[in-house]
Every structure is written in C-alpha cells, then in structure tokens.
Amino acid sequence: MSSAPNGRKNRPRSAGNIFQIGKPPSRDPERRESTESSRKAQRAVDDCRMIVQEFNTLVALYRELVISIGEISDTNPFGTKKII
C-alpha cells in the first residue's frame, strides 16, 4: 500500500497541471521583442501600401491629363500644327 508520509494517499496529477492548460504562455523579453518587430514590420508594409496607392493615383491623374491634352489637340487644328 503506497501512502504519503503524513498518512494521505498521493493523487495523480491532472493533465491541466502537467501541461498548464488554460494558462497563457509565459512571456520572455525575446518574444516581446519579436512581437514589437513584427508590429514595426506590419507598419512598414502598411506604409509601403499607402505609398504605392498614392503613386498609382498620381499616375492615373497624369494619364487623364495626357488624354485630355490629346483630346484638345484633336479638336483644335491650330494646336496640332504647333505640336507637330
């Protein structure tokens, strides 16, 4: 018969105690740094996306300007002679 020194029987440990179920993983400084660096990387990606979107908008505006200049020169023969 196995019993503890103080007269009580030992109970088997539950899976929750062995694997720490329900507890958040312990945070160490290295993990926090990697989280901070991933946030910085995400911010950089977001900034790049915004820059690309602004650039595409400027390209579209420039394209519209070039098209409108072409339309004006089609309707105005004097302007066509000047350009050529």
State the distance between the two ends of the chain, measured CA to CA, in whole angstroms. 109
Domain limits, the chain: 48-84
Give dist(CA 69, CA 61) in Å, integer. Answer: 12
Q: Which residue reads 């910085």 in tokens? A: 40
Based on C-alpha coordinates, what's the Rg of the chain?
35
What's the pLDDT band for 20 if we cut at 50, 70, 90? low
| pLDDT tens sequence across 28-77 | 655 666 888 999 999 999 999 999 999 999 999 999 999 988 887 666 66
